[in-house]
Structure 1
Amino acid sequence: MFLILTLALLPLGLIALVASLQAIRTTDLEKEALLRVAVTQSARKLSADLTSDRTALMLTANSFAVSGPDRAMCARLSIFLASHDRGGGRYYIYDRGGRRLCGSPQPEPDGLAPERRFSVRAMHLLPRSQFLVNPVQSRDGTVVALAYYPRAYLEAITSPAGALPNRQISLRQGRDSLVITQPSSLPQSRSTTLSARLDPSDMILTMTMRDPPVTLVRMLSLFLPLVMWFAAAAIGWFVVNRLLIRPLVLLRRSVATYHPGEVLEPMRRIRTPAQEIVALGDTFREISEDVATHEAEMAESLETQRKLTREVHHRVKNNLQIIASLINLHARSAHDAEAVEAYATIQRRVDALSVVHRNHYAELEEHRGVGVRSLISELSASLRATAPAEARRFGIQIDSDNLHISQDVAVPVAFLLTELVELAMLSNPRATMHISVQLEDDREDRAVLRIASPALRASQEMSERLEDRYGRVLTGLSRQLRAPLEHDSEAGDYAIAITVLP
């Protein structure tokens, strides 16, 4: 979101930056124009003063060449030069012999040798002594007048009328240069330099104006548009985050931790002026209330269904017990041995179905299916209780893992065990039987039910019973279990794979 806001405000930041750069460029052009005016005015003013002094010097030199030295004229020349020269200017008048005819009381500055006094025709810089000399000869060339101008005078004359801070003014003549005004010590920075030629001379007046040093304040003012752009993006992101993003994040967390049945009230912890988010939170609350109501109704319906199912199983179990009791009563009133045996056979199968139903009803609340070990144990006890008198000591050993099977598997398993135990009791009532249920090595959803007994070994009587009735029943039960019933006739072993619950 912050990146999007930054990109959205980028054009405004660029416009402000371009405007700031344009303002800086306009300021630079104004400074350059002001500097051009200042250097032109300073050059003209210095040229005018030097020309005026040259005229006075020439008049005095011509007068001395014609009529000789004159103290009154010398005094008037001194008064004229001193009227606009308060910086310590000096003047001297010499003849060809080197005799001083007139001049200032101060000693003559160094830099111009006596033999060069008549050879210098124009203004000349004396960088070593920091003076500007202005020589003027008389018309006949017998007298020369020299005017020396120090830096103080030149600075006063060339100083511009306007305020130009950090300026440097210098005079340049060929390779010689004289710095008139030296700015205060500033670090290296960008500068602007303009020049103007003095008239009449080959001397150039140069004025340089340095920009102020780059300070933190100037840098901030230069990058103020970018700072404003970033600040606008940050403030926009802060506002959006506080008013929109953060409430949405809290709303998402509340929805993520929601569990069916609870009443979701996210707006209790969220405060935002955005009415859309408030409406969304109210919508979630209404939906959660509807879900909680439906959950409560479903839980109530489920409890009612569970009670009805428990009642149905209870009644079925009671009906099976009633049927078993009726069969037992009829068996007691029968006098024929075959009828008694037939009743006993029917009762054993009803008991097997009752055992399955009772175990399934016991595990109904936990939905784990029918326990194999308890099913086989209870079924074995029931079979031994209803066994013929000669088979009352028929032994049954049980070895089973803690496994569970569905009711669809438990019913054919119970009938299969009933058929094999009855077959073994009829074949050899004094034998024993070993029943085991073990998981297969490579699978967790399959187990092997194995029934082994010497009474199940191959014999003529065993073959007749299998062909008469038991064989068809065992085949039908193996089809219900969807697995082949393996029989080892020599060892008296039956084995079949059954499906167990995880």
Structure 2
Amino acid sequence: MFLILTLALLPLGLIALIASLQAIRTADLEKEALLRVAVTQSARKLTADLQSDRTALQLTINSLGAADTLICDRLDLFLKSNDPEGGLYYIYDRAGRRICGSDRAEPEGLDRRERFSGPHAQILGGTPYLVSRVKSRDNQLVGLIYYSRVHLESVADPATALQNRQLSLRQGDRQLIISRPRVSPGDGRTTSLSARLEPPDILLTMTVRDPPATVARTLSLFLPLVMWFAAAAIGWFVVNRLLIRPLVLLRRAVASYHPGEVLEPMQRVRTPAQEIVALGETFREISEDVATHEAEMAESLETQRKLTREVHHRVKNNLQIIASLINLHARSAHDPEAVEAYASIQRRVDALSVVHRNHFAELEENRGVGVRPLISELSASLRGTAPTQARRFGIQIDSDDLHISQDVAVPVAFLVTELVELAMRLDPQGRMHISVQLQPGSADRGLLHIHSPALRASEDLAGHMEDRYGRVLTGLSRQLRAPLEQDGDAGSFAIAINVLP
């Protein structure tokens, strides 16, 4: 989001930066034009001053040639009116004799042999003076005017207000600095322009030094970029505070939601957008409805569980009543075959009752019927209802901690009952080993294995199997949807059953 806002505001930042650079360039051009006007004006003023003094000096030395010595006083007054330092001038003849001049001593720097030779205006090397030279018509007199740095600066001072300027005169390799800038030479960028004086071999150079780069100037230059970045940052902060952060908190609250809870995703958010507030309220209302439905479903499920328990309890009680009635009828019977028939029926009713009792015990945890307690209780019930001669029939149980559904438990109980009763008929004093083990490599298949010496192949076993037990065992194996494997030599039966994972 920050990148998107940054890219969206980038054209505005670039436009502002280009406008700022263009304004700086325009200011530079205006400053350069102002500097050109200033240096031209200064050159003209300095040229006019030099020409005026040269004219006065020319008239003076020509008049001296006519034996008029009072004109030197008038020249002195004229030069002093222009030069605050007194207007230094000196007039010499060919013999080197001073005709007249200022009261002050002549500055050093000009050799006496060079008084009649040299240009009209000359910069003296090593001294802060500019010398203007004028000869008489007969070339017998020469007049020298010395201009100090202060006088040159006052004359050449431009009318425009240029700060940090420097004025200098250059003649060949000689240079005379008239004024210096207020800042040190190494600070800032400089701009220089020159104009020629009369005589044309002297250049007046004006140098303007820009103020040094400061933090304020740098910030003013990059202010558009700073504003662009600040706008992007503020935009991202606002979007993050109003949209992104509330949406992230809302997503976390929804991701960690568990059925039955009531969502309150907007409690920790102070300034979300109204649309997100409405969305949070919608989630809260939906979670309230879900919690209400969950509570109703839990209540309905508890009611259903109680009803189921009541049904199993009533079925178990009814089976016990039926078993009691069968037992009463068996006691009143006198025929041994009838007694045995009643006992056989009672054992099967007890087997079904054991299944319901175990299913009722495991109903709270909804894990199905435990195989080990089912077979253990069933074995105890079979030994309790066995004939008198088979009361000492031994049953050994070896079972893993497995659980089966009621649909599997009923045929398993009947299958064990049929085989135990068959073994008791064939060998009342015998024994039996019942094992239920989980098949290797499988998590939902177990193997029920019943072994007894009485179940070895014999004529009696074959007769009982043909008479009744064979058909019953076949029907039970079909209910378990697995073949019942018989090993006559070992006296065992085995069948695969489905177990709960």
TM-score range, shorter chain: over 0.9
Bigger mean CA deviation after superposition, 473-482 or 212-221:
473-482
Q: Is the 8 A contact 1:369 1:407 kept in 2?
A: yes
Residue 47 of structure 2 corresponds to residue 47 of structure 1: yes
Match of 2:422 in 1: 423
Residue identity opposite 1:14 in structure 2: L
Residue 168 of structure 2 corresponds to residue 170 of structure 1: yes
Matches within 5 A, 1:121-136: 121-136=119-134
Q: CA deviation at 1:284?
A: 2.8
Residue identity opposite 1:493 in structure 2: S
Distance 1:186 1:135 in 2: 34
Q: Is the 8 A contact 2:187 2:211 kept in 1?
A: no
Q: Secondary structure at the match of 1:474?
A: helix
Match of 2:492 in 1: 493
Give 5+ residue unaligned stretches, structure 1: none
Residue 228 of structure 2 corresponds to residue 229 of structure 1: yes
Match of 1:20 in 2: 20
Q: CA deviation at 1:267?
A: 4.9
Match of 2:149 in 1: 151
Identity over aligned pairs, percent? 75
Q: CA deviation at 1:371?
A: 0.8
Residue identity opposite 1:393 in structure 2: R
Match of 2:362 in 1: 363
Q: CA deviation at 1:133?
A: 1.3
Distance 1:214 1:97 in 2: 59
Residue 395 of structure 2 corresponds to residue 388 of structure 1: no
Distance 2:61 2:373 in 1: 149
Match of 2:453 in 1: 454
Distance 2:125 2:352 in 1: 133
Matches within 5 A, 1:93-492: 93-183=91-181, 184-267=183-266, 269-272=268-271, 274-492=273-491
Q: How many residues align?
A: 500
Match of 2:2 in 1: 2
Q: Is the 8 A contact 2:449 2:493 kept in 1?
A: yes
Match of 2:32 in 1: 32
Match of 2:72 in 1: 74
Q: Secondary structure at the match of 2:70?
A: helix
Distance 2:191 2:98 in 1: 45
Q: Is the 8 A contact 1:88 1:150 kept in 2?
A: no
Distance 1:318 1:497 in 2: 31
Q: Is the 8 A contact 1:123 1:201 kept in 2?
A: no
Distance 1:282 1:233 in 2: 31
Distance 1:270 1:165 in 2: 58
Distance 2:85 2:207 in 1: 23
Q: Secondary structure at the match of 1:42?
A: helix
Q: Secondary structure at the match of 1:121?
A: coil
Instruction: Give per-residue Cα distances to partners, 1:403-458, cap 9 Å, x unaligned.
Output: 21111221121111112111211111111111122223333323222222221222
Distance 2:209 2:474 in 1: 114
Distance 1:28 1:213, change over 3 A: same
Distance 1:254 1:87 in 2: 91
Instruction: Give per-residue Cα distances to partners, 1:198-248, cap 9 Å, x unaligned.
Output: 123221111111111110111111122222222233333333333444444
Residue 83 of structure 2 corresponds to residue 85 of structure 1: yes
Q: Secondary structure at the match of 1:461?
A: helix
Distance 1:170 1:127 in 2: 14
Q: CA deviation at 1:392?
A: 0.7
Could you state the TM-score of these two structures normalised by the residue count of structure 2?
0.93
Q: Is the 8 A contact 1:44 1:198 kept in 2?
A: yes
Structure 1 consecutive aligned stretches of length 4 or more whose deviation exceeds 6 Å:
none
Q: CA deviation at 1:253?
A: 4.2
Q: CA deviation at 1:263?
A: 3.8
Q: Is the 8 A contact 1:169 1:205 kept in 2?
A: yes
Q: CA deviation at 1:105?
A: 3.0
Q: CA deviation at 1:363?
A: 0.7
Q: CA deviation at 1:399?
A: 1.7
Distance 1:273 1:415 in 2: 68
Q: CA deviation at 1:89?
A: 4.3
Q: CA deviation at 1:390?
A: 1.2
Could you state the TM-score of these two structures normalised by the residue count of structure 1?
0.93
Instruction: Give per-residue Cα distances to partners, 1:148-190, cap 9 Å, x unaligned.
Output: 2121111111111222111111112222222211113154422
